[in-house]
């Protein structure tokens, strides 16, 4: 299934109303560390399909959504569970650290 591009228009339906935890990757095409973890994010999206929804927000295309979440550095990973902010991690991280954000919630 892969990751889902989200923006201000579909944030409510894709994230806040999701029945499964949602991992959001705030990124930009010019960000080196974002490119490093991009394949890991996609891998997790496929591995946890149906149990965790993995979404991406391009901060260049939706600066308002990034600002709303207080994103000051990228990559930033945010986890929502039941429409509430559950966890946040800044910077590039290995796969097991990213998995740890949601593993105990599924």
The question of whether 34 is a catalytic residue gets the answer yes
Q: How many domains does the chain have?
A: 1
Q: Give the pLDDT band (50/70/90) at residue 3.
A: confident
83 Cβ contact partners less than 8 Å away, ≥ 6 residues apart: 15, 16, 17, 18
Determine whether 55 is an active site residue: no
C-alpha–C-alpha distance, residues 32 and 105, integer Å:
29
Range of the domain at 94: 4-105
Q: Which tens digits make up the pLDDT trace of 9-53?
A: 999 999 999 999 999 999 999 999 999 999 999 999 999 999 999
pLDDT of residue 106: 85
When pLDDT is averaged across residues 69-74 and rounded to a whole number, the result is 95
CATH number at residue 28: 3.40.30.10
The catalytically annotated residue of 24, 31, 52, 54 is: 31
3-state secondary structure of 86: strand
Output the average pLDDT for the chain: 95
pLDDT at residue number 1 = 57
Task: Point out the catalytic residue in the list 15, 23, 34, 45.
Answer: 34
């Amino acid at each position: 299934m892969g990751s889902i591009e989200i923006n201000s228009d579909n944030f409510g339906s894709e994230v806040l109303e999701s029945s499964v935890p949602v991992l959001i990757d705030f990124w930009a095409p010019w960000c080196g560390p974002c490119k490093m973890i991009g394949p890991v994010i996609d891998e997790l999206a496929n591995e946890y399909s149906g149990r965790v929804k993995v979404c991406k927000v391009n901060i260049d295309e939706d600066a308002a959504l990034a600002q709303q979440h207080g994103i000051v550095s990228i990559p930033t990973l945010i986890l929502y569970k039941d429409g509430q902010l559950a966890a946040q991690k800044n910077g590039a991280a290995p796969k097991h650290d990213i998995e740890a954000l949601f593993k105990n919630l599924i």
